[in-house]
Structure 1
Amino acid sequence: MYSLYAQLTSKYPFFQRSRYKYIAIAAVFVLFLYTFFHIDRNGLEVSSRLRNPFRASSSSSSLPNLTAIVSDAASYFTNYPLPSSAFGELGRRTELLTSWIKLSDTLAPSFTPNETATLDSALNTALLASFPFLRNPSLPYTSTDFHTLQQANRAPFTALRHRIRSGTRGIVIPAGKPQFRFAAHLIQNLRAVLNSSLPIQIAYAGDGDLPHEYRAALCGLAANVSALDVLSVFDDRSLQLRDGKAGWAVKPFAALASDFEQVVLLDADVVFAARPEDTVLRTLGYNETGVMLYHDQLVSQNKFVDRAEWWRWELKKAGRTPSEALRKSKVWTEGYAEEGDSGVVVLDKRRLEVLTGLLHVAWQNSREVRDEWTYKMTYGDKESWWFGMELSGVPFAFEEHYGAVLGDKVPIRSGANVRRNGTASVGLKMPKEKVCGFSIAHAGEDGKLLWYNGSLLKNKAVDQKEFTVPEWWMIDAEWVKGATKADVSCMKGGQVLAVDADALRVMSETVERAKLVDKAFAKLIANLES
């Protein structure tokens, strides 16, 4: 059947432009016929498998067809690798591969071990052709069993799925030496103050990124804190993550490498006001989709037109229309510049589509792609999360509000109350105060402060000693962004909100814990500053 398809695509080039769509249709159609029907002298009849769908078919006649189709696709993917610019086309491939893996999982009970291994090998070859970082030449498994080591080398995506421990959930904090101090503060925030019981993994990229003495210090701060070398799982040749050279890029690989089934990925400079297990892992959007993301500040309207056009072009190349989440986006619909704050990302890797969508996110952060596209078109990794899921057809949820400001209440000077168009505000009742600070804050589903970025310091970019416990915040109003990281950003035109007492207590206690940690690790911190 595939040879007929090849003849058709060579004769009619139109079908080549939708190659993967028609391969998928053909695969599903053939599997449907072979699995649920049989042909005899009386014609096409329903098979016993369809009459009793809970009984596995004794026939494996559908396997050669799926295996042949996947093998042909794997050969095509290998012979025609995608360039670093092919974001949308990789989304097509990712969605297609996901559908084949799901078919394989569904039909697996009717396969023999040899048949399963053959199909698994074809699937892994196709995945490796699209995501070469999956190959792990160092074979990180401690097992000396030959079959286990062989599987890690020949079927790395299968091995990656097998790494995931069923029923687990935990926090992953990517941290190199520059993030060491903030990671220590975050561990205190989560364990000592909030009493979070979630296990914590400190993810790093090789000994040069986070040397042994720093890992030992972090892991010794609290119970159930461990270290995870991302490069023990993935091939660094296409990533160039080693020794912390890539900064943000390690984050999606940390989420992939973790053996947690549900991952709460946190930047080291995040501060939580409530336990993650009681909040971000229980949001409606996360439970519906398996992906919970957070918005950035709403700024720079219509100032990054090329970025917006690029997003739309790649979505078109992926053959997709905007998802429900994207249709609600003010960045997508109103032309603002910054969509995602990736300080917190929550992922349910039990869902296959989330795991494969994460592969696309990771690809965007591989060396060639990030250097030539991702980090040129956007700022760091932060937009790659929603964009990778969107292009791969994976549902995701954003928080309800865009990023809020957290800081100090500041009077608005006389004469500053003007409309956006510059006309006087005579006769209008304008707010007389704004909120200014250096942190972007996020509300929980209860409307209270949930978490913020930027660390416990007032402004980590200019002063490494001054801590702060901000008492005010503002949400869903107009941002006035500082020109540089040394300049304060403000929000005006909205209601000035007092931070609730519970959040103030958490922040105050975390600051005191952080000061103690700084004293305990004074030598290690001093070595970083020298």
Structure 2
Amino acid sequence: MEFDSPTTAAIKHRESLRRIRPSRSFLVLLFFNIVGWLLFLGSRRSQRSPTPSSNGLAKVNDVVATSTVLTSVSEVVASSTFGAFSDIPTSSPTPRQPDFVGRPTRDRNYFGNPVPPSLSLTDFIVAPERRQELLLEFSVEDFKTLGERIREFFRLHRKLRVLEDFQTHLKSELEERASDTNSKFLGTVQRSDRTSVHAQNTLYEFQRFMSKMEELLFPWVRPTYPSLSHLYRTFARGPRSRGLVMTTAKGLQSRMAMVGIMSLRATGCDLPIEFMYAGDDDLPPETRRKILSLGDGYDITMRDITSLVDDTKTQIGAWAIKPFGIMFSSFTEVVFSDADVVWFFSPQALFEDPVYVQTGTIFYYDRRTFFGASDDQFKFVMDILPAHLKEPIPSYLQSHNAIMARQSQHQQDSAVIAIDKSRENNFYGLLTTCRLNLKEERDKVIYRVFLGDKETFWMGWEMAGSNGQYGWNRWPSAQLGYLVRGDQDAALVVTQGNYTQNSNNTVEHKRLRICSYQSAHLHPDGTRLHWFNGGPLRAKFFGESSPVASALEYWAVERHSRWDINPSNIFCLRMREGLNMTVDNEGNVLHFQASDQSGAEADTGFDYGVFKADYEGGMGGAVPHRLGETERYVISRLEGWWEESGRDGARSLEVPKST
């Protein structure tokens, strides 16, 4: 074999390299292609870059490092789901929504963005001057400022809950990947740590500010719950539960409460009951044991409200215990029942009421043609309302609210209230009602302008900015009592059953009234009474010596009828004139028929057990009705229940469930 010389081999090698080397034109073409692609990618990136806002802040798309998230993320578990507040105004276009409830969308920046997808960083920026203004102390009598602060707090708190929810899920995701050895993922997180400082500081300052504002407005929450978000989460995300909440005091009140429990079980209602009390002075241990003896060991429980709140801030007592008892009960959906309430039918019907289904609330009207309007009340409500509800006052506040319509000093009867606390609007409204019942607020202003706690519920909802998102029972208040002529002494009739005529006034002789200490309210179907308050006695203000109200038989819906008030605080609702019935001096109700000018039989305006709305309306337009069979059965049991409540070691009577 022949071999080339070294010189010949080198020449051949250079020739081979020349054959495979690309031409100069090809290199030029390749260069321009690369430059073109770089320019194209640069333009696409600039289109995705955020545009600085008017205040010079660009939307931040930082990444939270693993170490930062695990140490700075709030331990508060959020109380709202992602996307729930898509209507919150944001400073940037609305981002795409989460892929499913409760979990953020995982795009390529998911692990690097400390801001919830539904909000931007600017949503969490509160100017230092504004923060200082919102944290300033103000007079306990300045309810206008209180209302403004509360509404601003709730606006920001909605965003805070979304942030806490996002942080909780983000922390969970990163903890799951903490053991991931994928260098690409870890490298992304580590690189993000250098760019997230501004976003983290902004969010930290926002959370710190909100904690201070919460402490200023609602300082009683934290002994039991770390924050309001925790408290709300127990209702919004915990197992749904329904139950009754009751409050009572020792002595007469506790006996009436026991009768209320017996009437409740007689309706077939098996809802659990929580009694809220304010320490041993409010409800002594022996009284608690007596009430508990009515249950089976599980269906009635006692809870000391002073152990659930910071009572140095609230100083709960008397009427003020109601809103706190509702808020801190373990039930998500609550029916509150006063100690002197007696039930004809199960309160569970309230949960099916269309008003409750729509709003998660049922409030009841009080006697609204009782006293005339109060300028002080009207001015107070105008002070706490948001500006957009003042001029003009919206129709819903005038048509359904006697105080705002300048017709009465009484709007709400708070003896029974139904509330679904899992609905955000109701949670904030109830929280505001609690604030209105703090000791200084109630003693210096609220209870001087209004009669106790009863108006603080709808006012709390309005003060929180609910704009009327609460519901009223669809029927007016009713009076349950005894038929009394105008020339008979209402006090003697109510307290003693004495129907003796006390005057010769022929006009008063024809006038018919229903008199008693008991007011009542209609069932959601509007055809019968649902419950009454005032207790099982003829006159609870006379104490335990008062006879039992075993003769209660007639009722009428108030509508616009006129009330008479006895010096002993006995209420008498005037019936419509011209009714073909009367009551004699022995208390017997007499019916008679008469003919009108055409010879037709006149309408007596009386129908057993059925409320006819077309009979109502106009001054003195109420019409008496007789209790139905079930209601009369409950009344017949009052005396036995009352005796049972007075025995030592009382046990529940064996009461058949009514139909």
TM bucket by the smaller chain? 0.7 to 0.9
Aligned: 1:184 with 2:258: yes
Encode CA deviations 1:206-229: one digit per residue, 9 max, x unaligned: 122112222122122113100111
Q: What pairs up with 1:163-242 in 2 under 5 angstroms?
A: 163-164=234-235, 165-178=238-251, 179-191=253-265, 193-223=266-296, 224-241=299-316
Aligned: 1:327 with 2:398: yes
Give the 3 Å change call, closer, same or farther, for CA 346–70 of structure 1 in structure 2: farther
Give the 3 Å change call, closer, same or farther, for CA 51–440 of structure 1 in structure 2: closer
Aligned: 1:29 with 2:93: no
Aligned: 1:274 with 2:355: no
Give the 3 Å change call, closer, same or farther, for CA 2–220 of structure 1 in structure 2: farther
Amino acid at match of 1:311: V
CA distance in 2, matches of 1:495, 1:462: 29
Give the 3 Å change call, closer, same or farther, for CA 407–369 of structure 1 in structure 2: same
Give the 3 Å change call, closer, same or farther, for CA 388–512 of structure 1 in structure 2: same
Contact kept? 2:563, 2:571, Cα under 8 Å: no
Task: Give the aligned partner of residue 599 of structure 2.
Answer: none
Q: What pairs up with 1:482-501 in 2 under 5 angstroms?
A: 482-493=565-576, 494-501=622-629
Task: Give the aligned partner of residue 126 of structure 1.
Answer: 213
> Using CA pairs below 8 Å that are at least 6 residues apart, which structure has the higher relative contact order?
1
Contact kept? 2:293, 2:649, Cα under 8 Å: no
Aligned: 1:292 with 2:362: yes
Aligned: 1:91 with 2:147: yes
Partner-residue secondary structure (3-state), 2:474: coil
Amino acid at match of 1:478: S
Match of 2:335 among 247, 264, 278: 264
Give the 3 Å change call, closer, same or farther, for CA 285–254 of structure 1 in structure 2: same
Deviation for aligned residue 1:52: 6.8
Q: What pairs up with 1:311-322 in 2 under 5 angstroms?
A: 311-315=381-385, 322=393
Deviation for aligned residue 1:504: 1.3
TM-score (norm 1): 0.77
Amino acid at match of 1:293: F
Amino acid at match of 2:437: N
Give the 3 Å change call, closer, same or farther, for CA 456–173 of structure 1 in structure 2: same
Partner-residue secondary structure (3-state), 1:399: coil
Amino acid at match of 1:99: R
CA distance in 1, matches of 2:421, 2:315: 25
Contact kept? 1:70, 1:122, Cα under 8 Å: no
Partner-residue secondary structure (3-state), 1:344: strand
Aligned: 1:474 with 2:590: no
Partner-residue secondary structure (3-state), 1:181: helix
Contact kept? 2:276, 2:305, Cα under 8 Å: yes
Deviation for aligned residue 1:258: 0.6
Task: Give the aligned partner of residue 657 of structure 2.
Answer: none
Task: Give the aligned partner of residue 376 of structure 1.
Answer: 448
Amino acid at match of 2:465: G
Contact kept? 2:361, 2:418, Cα under 8 Å: yes
Amino acid at match of 2:154: T
Task: Give the aligned partner of residue 440 of structure 1.
Answer: 519
Deviation for aligned residue 1:508: 2.0
Percent identical pairs in the alignment equals 23
CA distance in 1, matches of 2:291, 2:571: 31
Contact kept? 2:143, 2:383, Cα under 8 Å: no
Indicate the structure with greater helix content: 1
Q: Which has the larger radius of gyration?
A: 2
RMSD after superposition: 3.4
Task: Give the aligned partner of residue 39 of structure 1.
Answer: none
Matched residues, number: 455
Deviation for aligned residue 1:473: 0.8
Match of 2:485 among 411, 414, 423: 411
Deviation for aligned residue 1:301: 4.7
Contact kept? 2:537, 2:549, Cα under 8 Å: yes
Encode CA deviations 1:431-481: one digit per residue, 9 max, x unaligned: 752211111111122221111111011110124241113100111252323
CA distance in 1, matches of 2:53, 2:228: 26
Partner-residue secondary structure (3-state), 1:299: coil
Amino acid at match of 1:56: T
Unpaired runs of 5+ residues, structure 2, are 1-51, 57-84, 173-199, 489-505, 577-621, 651-659
Aligned: 1:455 with 2:535: yes
Contact kept? 2:519, 2:532, Cα under 8 Å: yes
Deviation for aligned residue 1:391: 1.8
Task: Give the aligned partner of residue 520 of structure 1.
Answer: 648
CA distance in 2, matches of 1:273, 1:405: 15
Give the 3 Å change call, closer, same or farther, for CA 385–194 of structure 1 in structure 2: same
Deviation for aligned residue 1:75: 5.4
Task: Give the aligned partner of residue 63 of structure 2.
Answer: none
Deviation for aligned residue 1:53: 8.4
Deviation for aligned residue 1:331: 3.3
TM-score (norm 2): 0.63
Contact kept? 2:515, 2:570, Cα under 8 Å: no
CA distance in 2, matches of 1:27, 1:477: 42
Deviation for aligned residue 1:110: 3.9
Encode CA deviations 1:257-291: one digit per residue, 9 max, x unaligned: 1111011111100111110012x222221211122
Partner-residue secondary structure (3-state), 2:538: coil
Encode CA deviations 1:145-194: one digit per residue, 9 max, x unaligned: xxxxxxx3xx3323323444421011000122242111111111112x11
Deviation for aligned residue 1:105: 4.0
Task: Give the aligned partner of residue 5 of structure 2.
Answer: none
